[in-house]
Amino acid sequence: MKHRKPNELHLRSHDLDHDHWDRRGFLRTLGMAGAGAISFGNSTLSVVESPLLSHAISDAYSDRILVLIRLKGGNDGLNTIVPLYDFDLYANKRPKIHIPQNNLYKLNDNFGIPNFMNSVVPMWNEGAMKVIHGVGYENQNLSHFKSSEIWATTTPDAEITSGWMGRYYEGKYMDYMNNPPEKPLAIQIGGGGNLIFDGDLTTYSFSVSSPERLKRVAENGTLYENIDNANNLHGQQVSFLREASNTTFRYASVINEAYENSKAFDSYTNDNFDLQLNLVSRFIKGGLGTKVYMVSLGGFDTHANQPERHEALMTRLTRAIQTFYKDLGDYGMAEKVLSMTFSEFGRRVAENGSSGTDHGSAAPIMLFGPALKGNGFIGQHPDLRALNKKGNMANSKDFRAVYASVLTNWLCADAVDVSNAISGPNPELLGLGLGCDEFSFSCDPILPLHMTDDPLLPLHAAVNADQGVILYLTINESADVEVNVFDVLGRKVGNTISSRLNSGKHNLSLIDATSQSFPSGQYFYKITTNGDKTYSKSFLVK
């Protein structure tokens, strides 16, 4: 890329920046909605406020929690949610492994679940379970590794190595590297190598390889026991490494505090998956404050002996979910927790010669939690008569629409945050009716910053060499305002502005025109008003 003179500073919009940034990278950095305007000479670029500034939404939904349940290996959706309306065709395709009708519980006239999943029937009957039919993506990749990567990154593009939740957090916590929050943003148990919480610069989850290791952290506030065995060089080295790990394992102490502040629920079994949900419940009840958890249940690659294997897995899953919500309900927290299953793909419609199924495509996603306020099905079940040449169903709902809907309707993310998180065209929202969409995102009169309706303009013009980068700020009531500039690593650069400003228009210098110390690249300005409300936006220096 050709560099211009150091004092030629350029701010470019999304459309004009494709030649230097891919769409995802650019949206991730520009996605932190801002306020005010950047000046290029005599022109002004307006940007729109983030609706996350709404106090009503922040107060009402700040304690909502999302639990992602990963079913590793490719769960067989047809033997999970059985199409009663097409039962004869379903059974004909699976003469050995179909679920007999007398072993099914009817959710309604069209769909049933196997009796071994009956642990969640009370949740269905109480309106705390929904099913999204036929979730997948076009041109399904049947590799476990690649399809898992696509579900994590939301794109088949191998150049994208950040996950959808990582990008979501990256847009919300610009200075995470230097000023991490006091509580972990996310906790991931197992699922090593999964990219869901990875950003471009760091991972945003507290990740452990097993629930046993997380339990050790929760009980002791440390990762390793460090018994003094330093009588030899090897012992001294091991002791040093364990002590270093204990010291640097961020959040171990706050996890321990939340665990100790909560009581055990004695209905969980000693099963590995039960232990994962048991720990999540302890952290929720103990007030840890983490918003997103991911747990995993493996073994769903049922190429052979599927009836016995799948029954055992779904029994474990549904019993654990029922126990989890009974635990949370007794503590008065069930309404605040939404759980969602997902798997890298479904299974083929026809059984194979080993009483199993091979890698397939679309499969249902199940949602659990009293906040759903009603049971039901979302979308159309794939047509068993319209299979592709491999014998797989066409997806009827793109998985990115599920992610976008959960972010929007449950975590109350604004459109900019959702666009940052989800790759590709704007996905449809499924209308889950979880509350966030009850609010209209309009100008809040108590906010001191003026909100403009002007769109982001596709401008490309040089900043006046006598001005540098100027922030045009309009406030409608006096406020304490602090403005900082950061590079992509979260380091403060440029001018720091901290002042009590009266209502009206203000021109604030972010970067002096005489500065020679700024290499080309991405930068961010962050405005803090009255010590708590923040507004951010990025700009490009060439």
Q: What pLDDT, on a 0 to 100 scale, did the predictor assign at position 534?
A: 67
- The ranges of the chain annotated as CATH 2.60.40.2550 are 15-49+444-541
Structure tokens at 96: 């050995």
Beta-strand ranges (E) seen in 33-192 are: 37-40, 43-46, 65-71, 82-83, 104-106, 111-114, 129-136, 186-189
* Domain formed by 15-49+444-541, architecture: Sandwich (2.60)
Q: What are the residue ranges of CATH 3.40.720 in the chain?
A: 57-438
Chain center to CA of 198: 10
Q: So what's the pLDDT on residue 401?
A: 96
Please give the order of strands across the beta sheet that includes 82-83.
Answer: 82-83, 111-114, 104-106
What sign does the CA torsion over 342, 347, 349, 354 have? negative
Spatial separation of the C-alpha atoms in residues 78 and 282, rounded to whole Å? 34
Phi, psi of 410 (to 5 degrees): -110, -50
Residue-level pLDDT at 282? 97
pLDDT at 511: 77
Check: CATH 3.40.720 for 57-438? Answer: yes
pLDDT for residue 467:
58
Q: How do residues 449-459 score in pLDDT, each as one tens digit?
A: 332 322 222 22
pLDDT tens digits, one per residue of 225-269: 555 555 565 555 555 444 444 434 678 889 999 999 999 999 999
Are residues 346 and 136 in contact, defined by beta-carbon separation less than 8 angstroms? yes
Q: Which of helix, strand or coil describes residue 174?
A: coil
**Exposed, middle or buried by CB within 10 Å (0-12, 13-18, 19+), for 333?**
middle
Span 118-175, pLDDT tens digits = 999 999 999 999 999 999 999 999 999 999 999 999 999 998 999 999 999 988 887 7
Instruction: Give residue for tokens 């679920």.
Output: 99
Q: Strand runs (DSSP E) across 458-491, as ranges?
A: 469-475, 479-487
Alpha helices in 48-120 (DSSP H): 55-61, 87-93
Taking the chain (542 residues) in consecutive chunks of 10 residues, what is each chunk's mean pLDDT? 37 35 35 34 30 37 90 98 98 98 98 98 98 96 96 93 92 77 91 83 87 90 57 55 48 92 95 97 96 97 98 98 98 97 98 98 98 95 96 96 95 85 87 65 28 26 49 79 78 85 82 67 74 65 57
